[in-house]
Amino acid sequence: MKKYFNENFKHFLHGGDYNPEQWIDTKEVWDEDMRLMKLSHCNEMSVGIFSWSILEPKENEYDFSFMDEILDKIYEAGGRVLLATPSGARPRWMAEKYPEVLRVKSNGQRNEFGRRHNHCLTSPYYRKKVYEMNSILAKRYGKHPAVIGWHISNEYGGDCFCPLCREAFTKWLEKKYEGDIDKLNFQWWTTFWSHRFDNFSQVAPPLPHGDSYASLELDWKRFVSDQTQSFIANEIAGVREYSDLPTTINMMPYQYINYTKIANEIDAVSWDSYPSWHKPEHLSLAPEIAFWHDFFRSMKQKPFLLMESTPSNTNWQEFNKLKRPGMHKLSSIQAVAHGSDSVQYFQWRKSRGSNEKFHGAVVDHVGHENTRVFKDVTELGICLEKINEVLGTMPSVKVALIYDVDNDNALKVAQGFQLKDKKYMQTCYTWYNQLWKRGIDVDIINAEADLTPYTLVIAPMLYSTTEKTVANIEKYVKEGGTFIGTYALAMVNENDLCYLGGFPANDLKKVFGVWAEEIDTLYPGECNYVRCKNNEYKVVDYCERINLAPSAQTVGKYQDDFYANEPAVVKNAYGKGTAYYVGARGTGELEDFVVGSVLKSLKIEGNIKKLPDGVTAHSREDENAKYIFVENYNGDKKIIDIGEKMLNLETGETESGEVVIPSFGLKIYKKAK
């Protein structure tokens, strides 16, 4: 069954952020935009993201004339609109009259008006005003034929330390700890350094000039996430007064808020992706971006939207390199290969002044279509039209990797291991890469997700876990699942309180057949080796000393240091399943060996069998067909064997056996079922 963003517009969305309000005095530009939209095979504009000061120039005095005109024009030109709610930036009059809308920094200082995303998440006035504005927009445009969905605000993020937010934090804690301050004292272990609280109102947020420790930090981050979520819920309630069109928020990678939970408020996930291609580490960047595409798709188990990407370069990275020929199409289709039903840009047209005038856009300052970038965009638009039948399909996934934001937050603040950077993200990428390079489709899930759909689950460095997750993993393996865990598994609960009785927590010792006694953190440049069968694999950063249960089988042993010959990689049969414990951090080779042998035992194969370095193959399918995307991130062509006959969706020709994938090139195949 295909799942569409909007049942009434079954096309890949191709377009992006459009700011016609910047050209209100030169409306001939609007007409050019419409001509160029058609010419570039674009069909979507995200409008109104930062328009509040035009829509409500004075308090309660509205002017929708620009919006009325531009929505009609876009529709007449055959385009559709994701209409934004404007809460990402507000008019100056509002900040002057109601300073509570502005954020307060952790040092207690209130921000001046300026920048964007500079709003308090709690302010009752701001919430009320946003609700009103959204319902007015929904009433006026909810039935406009151009509008197919709602772009709620822009890139939510950040926190506020104002008195209102601090009071809301107190209430949030009271609720979480059921009104019992001693429950908080226990979970936060506040007898340490005499930090006990007598009541909830004594608890302050983590402050540079006040208290700061892991449990406090973690609850503050969860509070901020929940506050963001309720802010979004309020925005959507405003829209829902008059419109039932689908909603989305544009998310970002590397955030500490819990997007998976927040995604419950919206109909579709979208995200903004700005990779810095063509650095020396270009080839390892491709799987990293793939990881995030999978993360955002897995969140709702539904196609997502690539809401923002640049058609050429950015202007805010330290070095803003252009995409090499081929790279625009390749990186855009990469998103599609992983489940995106759109390729959208920041931005349609370069602004004339201010911060983002040199950020890549479909239309440059020159104003016409005779640019390399415009041609790239057009070529992509044509490609998306040719592969329209892929829309709404999903990959069929057997392998999941756990990347858990709570665990990420916990590792960031944990006092121990490598203090500054435990490299959780990097280790997730290393494990993910073993699947990516084999052309295996993967879901990226959080620790509490349902594991039953998967044959194999990999959980790198899952240090912080709830009791529920511990039980979930135990049940999964017992009932037949295969699970790979690593060093530092299940050491603390969600409040950074250690599990007692040996790591990993509770029944996981039985599941993995190990008791992990201590972790050796190596200095940079140091290493050890793990011998598995006839090969030695380099290990760095962490070497855990582990004790085995009689049921467990040693797969690899340390080679050096005082723990030479002790087990490093362990396999254990538990219930109907198998658990692997990898006690040390490899540099890719050890992970390759473990993943390779586990996949072999489970008979899981990639979409294409043999892939050279820097080439991958991902897929989407429905009941009738499977679509395979072969991507080559190398700067030279690669020959690969695709085996059986498949239809090249772009050329309409059949191909089989050895085919050439050009440099920074790709092929999109269809295999009937």
Active site residues: 155, 308
Residue 413 half-sphere exposure toward CB, CA atoms < 13 A? 23
User: What torsion, rounded to 10 degrees, do the Cα atoms 299, 331, 371, 82 define?
Assistant: -10
Burial class (CB in 10 A: 0-12, 13-18, 19+), 370: exposed
Contact of residue 154 among ligand GLA, Zn ion, none (CB under 5-8 Å per partner type): ligand GLA
Of residues 148-177, those binding Zn ion (CB under 5 A): 160, 162, 164-165
Angle CA(232)–CA(235)–CA(239) in degrees, nearest 5?
Answer: 135
Beta bridge partners of 464: 492
List 141, 259, 274, 432, residue binding ligand GLA (CB under 6 A): 274
Of 174, 162, 226, the C-alpha closest to 200 is: 174
Site for ligand GLA in 288-327 (CB under 6 A): 308, 314, 316
Go through the chain and tell me how many residues it has: 673
86: contact with ligand GLA by CB under 6 A = no
Which of 19, 43, 122, 619 is close enough to bind Zn ion by CB under 5 A?
122
Residue burial 164-203, b: 16+ Cβ < 10 Å; e: rest: bbbebbbebbbebbeeebeebbebbbbeeeeeeeeebeeb
| Gyration radius (Cα) of the chain, Å | 26
Q: Choose one: 116-124, 408-416, 418-426, 630-638; the region binding Zn ion (CB under 5 A).
A: 116-124
CB of 30 to Zn ion, least distance (A): 38
When asked if residue 477 is in the footprint of Zn ion (CB under 5 A), the reply is no
Q: Is 154 near ligand GLA (CB under 6 A)?
A: yes
Question: Which one, 285 or 548, has the nearer CB to ligand GLA?
Answer: 285
165 binds, among Zn ion, ligand GLA, none (CB under 5 to 8 A by kind): Zn ion
Query: Which of Zn ion, ligand GLA, none sits in contact with 85, Cβ below 5 to 8 A by type?
Result: none
Whether the CB-CB separation of 313 and 157 falls below 8 Å is answered with no
When binding is defined by CB under 6 A, the residue of 155, 219, 235, 341 that contacts ligand GLA is 155
Nearer to ligand GLA, 350 or 670 (CB): 350
Q: Which of 200, 291, 346, 558 binds ligand GLA (CB under 6 A)?
A: 346
- Per CB under 6 A, the list member of 73, 359, 618, 620 interacting with ligand GLA is 359
Residue type, 491: M
Taking the complex as a whole, how short is the minimal distance between the CB of residue 96 and ligand GLA, in angstroms? 24
CB of 346 to ligand GLA, least distance (A): 4
**Cα(118)–Cα(162) distance, integer angstroms:** 12
Number of residues that bind ligand GLA (CB under 6 A): 10
Q: Which does 162 bind (CB under 5 to 8 A by kind): ligand GLA, Zn ion, none?
A: Zn ion
- Whole-angstrom Cα distance, residue 498 to residue 429? 26
> Which DSSP state fits 85?
P
To the nearest whole angstrom, how small is the minimum distance from the Cβ of residue 308 to ligand GLA? 5
Residues 505-544 contacting ligand GLA, CB under 6 A: none
Do residues 618 and 395 touch, judged by C-beta distance below 8 A?
yes
Q: Are strands 13-18 and 44-47 parallel, antiparallel or unpaired?
A: parallel
The least distance separating Zn ion from the CB of residue 162, rounded to whole angstroms, comes to 3
| Binding-site partner at residue 62 among Zn ion, ligand GLA, none, CB < 5 to 8 Å by type | none
Q: Report the site for ligand GLA in 179-238 (rule: CB under 6 A).
A: none
Choose the contact partner of 308 out of ligand GLA, Zn ion, none; CB within 5 to 8 A by kind: ligand GLA
Distances (CA, A) of 635 to 283, 325, 373, 510, 615: 10, 10, 19, 48, 11
Q: Which of Zn ion, ligand GLA, none sits in contact with 120, Cβ below 5 to 8 A by type?
A: Zn ion
CA 82 – CA 44 distance, rounded (Å): 7
| Residue 118 within binding range of Zn ion, rule CB under 5 A | no
Helices 424-436 and 405-413: angle between axes, nearest 10 degrees: 140
Among 56, 272, 364, 376, binds ligand GLA (CB under 6 A): 272
**Site residues, ligand GLA (CB under 6 A):** 154-155, 272, 274, 308, 314, 316, 346, 356, 359
**Site residues, Zn ion (CB under 5 A):** 120, 122, 160, 162, 164-165
